A and B are shown apart, each in its own frame.
Chain A
Amino acid sequence: MNAILQMQKVGLTYHTPKNETLAVTDLSFDCYDGELLGIVGPSGCGKTTILSLMSGILTPSQGEVLICGEKANCQSGLTGYMLQKDELLPWRTIMSNVLLGLEIKKCKTAQKIEYAQSLLQKYNLYDFKDFYPHQLSGGMKQRVALIRTLVLEPKLLLLDEPFSALDFQTRLNVVEDVYSIIKSEGKSAVFVTHDISEAISLCDRVIVLTQRPSRVKDIIDLSPLKDYTPLKRRELPVFSEYFDKIWSNLQTTKEKNDEIRKT
C-alpha cells in the first residue's frame, strides 16, 4: 500500500525564554492511502503539535515529515486541516465560508465552485448556502467546516478532535456523517483525539502515544472492524476489548510517568 504520510524519526522542541520543552521525539509511523489513522494519547501529549507538523505549520527539529513523498508545507495544499471548533467566519455566508480556502489559494474557478455546490448538495447543506453560521446547529456547522476542507481536494485530512465541542448526541451523528463523507470521498485522514471510543468507532488503525515527550507506545489494528460504521462498531462485543487494550496502554504510560515524578 502507498504511504500518503511518512513520519520519520520526527522530533520537535518548543523554545520559550524560560524553557525548552521536548514535545515529541523519535516519532515514526505511516498513514496509507485511504486509511483513517487515529492518534490517541494522554492529554497534553502534543497531539495538536503532531498535526501542526503534518500540515507544515511547524517544521520538525529532527527527522522529516513527508506527505506524498514531499516535505510537509502549508502552501502545498496536500493536507486539509479541520480544527477543534468549526471556526466559520460569522460575517460570511455558508457558501462563502466554504469558498474561503479557494479564495486564499486564488483558484476560485467555476469548476471548483460547482464542486463546492455539489458537496453541499450531497451532504444536505445546499438549502443553507446563503445562511449565516449562527443560524445553523453545531453539527451542521461542523459539516460545513469539513466541506470547507474537502473543497480544496487535499490528499490527507488532519482532524484535531473535531467533535469535542459538540454535545454527545450530535457528536454520535456527526461522527457517523464525517465517517461516511471521508469514506465516500475516498480520503485518507489522521484523526487525533483523547476519546478512546471515538477512535475505535472511526479509525482503521490507532496509534497510542506516551506522555510528553510523546513516542509511539503501541499501534492497534482495527481492520477487523472495517465493514462496520461508527455506531455499529459501538454495539460489537470486541469494541470493549479494543477499548480495554488502549485504555491499559494509556494507563501504563501514566503510571510510568507518575513513578518518574516520584523519584
Chain B
Amino acid sequence: MKFGKRKDALPKVYSLEHAVYLKRQRRKNIIITLSRVGLLLIFLLLWELLARFDVIDSFISSSPTRMFNCFIDLVKGGELGKHIGVTLWETVVSFFLATTVGTLTAIILWWFEGVRKVLEPYIVILNALPKIALGPIIIIWMGTDGPAIITMALAISLFITILSTLSGFMSVEKSKLMLMQTLGANKWQILTKLVLPSNIPNIIDALKINVGLCWVGTIMGEYLVSHAGLGYLIIYGGQIFKLDLVMTSTVILCILAGIMYYLVALLQKAVSKKFNID
C-alpha cells in the first residue's frame, strides 16, 4: 500500500536548509509588498511635487492634495454617498442579473440541443456587436435612469457569460458523461452531479470577467444618460473642466472595482476549498 501521497505524511520538523529556504521566500514576499506600496507612494509624491513646482499644470493634471481636498468637499457636501450608492447599486444588480440569467440561459442551451443550434449564431453576433451602438435604443426604450444603465451593463456582460459558461458545459469530458450513462443517470442528474460541479471553476472565472464588464457597462451607461453616479461625476467634471473631480471619481472607482474583484476572489477561494479544486 502506498502512503506517499498522503498530505499528513509531511515532516513537521524542517531541516536547516528548508528553514533557510523559507526565510528567503518570506523576505522575497516582503520586498514585493514593499515595492508595490513604494511604487504608489513615489508616483503620488512625484505627481504632487511636479504640480507644486509648476512643472505640470495642476489645472489640467490635478494633484494628490487637490484630489484629497475635492474628496473632502464631496463628503462635506453629502453628495458622495449618493453617487457611490447609485453606481454600486447599478453595478451589483447588473452583475447578479448577468450571472444568474447568463448561467440559466447556458443551462437551457445545454439541455436543448435544437434550441442551442438555432440560437447560437444570434448570440455570437450579439456578442460581437459593439454594445455602445445600442445606446440610443436603450435610452428610448428604457428611459434615462437606473434601468437604462443596468440594461447597458447587461448588454455588455450577458452574452459573453452565456458563451463562456456554455462552452464550459459542452467541454465536460466524454468519458465522464459515459460513466454517468452507464450508471443510468438521467439528464437532470448529469447536470447536477457532473456538469455543474465540474464547471464551478469556469463559472467563477466568468464572475471575475463579469465584475470588470459590469463596471464598464455601468460607467458607459452613466456617460450616456444619468443624473447621478460616479460616471456622471466624471463626465460632469469633464464638461466643466474640473479635473480634480474627474480624477477623484476615477480613483474612487478604481478602489470600488478592486474591492469587488477581491470579494469574488475570496468567494473563489472558499468555493475551491469546498469543492477541492486546485
Contact = CB atoms under 8 A, between A and B. Distances in A.
Interface of A: 55, 57, 74-75, 77, 79-81, 83-85, 87, 89-91, 100-101, 103-105, 124, 131-132, 134-137, 139-140, 152
Contact of B276 (A91, A104, A136, A152): A91
B178 interface: yes
Contacts of B179: 81, 83, 87
Contact of B193 (A85, A103, A131): A103
A104 B5 contact: no
A105 B7 contact: no
Contacts of B194: 89
B182 A57 contact: yes
The 7 closest A-B pairs by CB, nearest first: A81-B182, A91-B275, A87-B179, A101-B183, A137-B2, A104-B185, A75-B184
Contacts of A84: 175
Nearest to A145: B179
Given A91-B275, A104-B189, A135-B7, A57 B175 contact: no
B23 interface: no
A228 B122 CA distance: 64
A85 B179 CA distance: 10
A74 B181 contact: yes
7 contacts: A57-B182, A80-B182, A89-B194, A101-B183, A131-B6, A132-B276, A134-B5
A174 B113 CA distance: 40
A150 to B, nearest CB: 13
A30 B1 CA distance: 37
A189 B182 CA distance: 15
Contacts of A100: 183, 193
B176 A136 contact: no
Nearest to B176: A87
A57 B180 CA distance: 11
A83 B178 CA distance: 9
B197 interface: yes
B277 interface: yes
Given A135-B6, A140-B2, A104 B184 contact: yes
Given A135-B5, A137-B5, A140-B2, A74 B193 contact: no
A7 to B, nearest CB: 18
B162 to A, nearest CB: 24
B2 A104 contact: no
* Listed residue (B1, B182, B197, B277) with the most chain A CB atoms within 10 angstroms of its CB: B182
Which of under 10, 10 to 19, 20 to 34, or 35 or more describes the interface residues of B? 20 to 34
B126 to A, nearest CB: 28
Given A57-B178, A83-B175, A136 B5 contact: yes
Contacts of B5: 134-137
Contact of B277 (A91, A103, A139): A91
Interface in B259-278: 275-278
B197 A104 contact: no
Given A57-B182, A100-B183, 17 more contacts: A57-B178, A57-B181, A74-B182, A75-B184, A81-B179, A81-B182, A83-B175, A84-B175, A89-B193, A89-B194, A89-B197, A91-B200, A100-B193, A101-B183, A104-B183, A124-B1, A137-B5
Interface string B194-220: 100110100000000000000000000
A144 B175 CA distance: 17
A17 B198 CA distance: 31
A185 to B, nearest CB: 18
Contacts of B185: 104
A122 to B, nearest CB: 14
Interface string B162-187: 00000000000001101111111100
Given A90-B276, A91-B276, A137-B2, A83 B182 contact: yes
A87 B189 CA distance: 16
B62 to A, nearest CB: 50
A115 B94 CA distance: 49
Nearest to A86: B179
Nearest to A139: B2
* Listed residue (B2, B7, B179, B197) with the most chain A CB atoms within 10 angstroms of its CB: B179
Contact of A87 (B1, B175, B193): B175
Contacts of A83: 175, 178-179, 182
A79 B184 CA distance: 10
A3 B275 CA distance: 44
Given A84-B175, A85-B175, A100-B193, A105 B184 contact: yes
Contacts of B278: 134
Nearest to B182: A81
Contact of A91 (B182, B184, B197): B197
Contacts of B277: 90-91
Contacts of A57: 178, 181-182
A100 B190 CA distance: 11
Interface string B1-26: 11011110000000000000000000
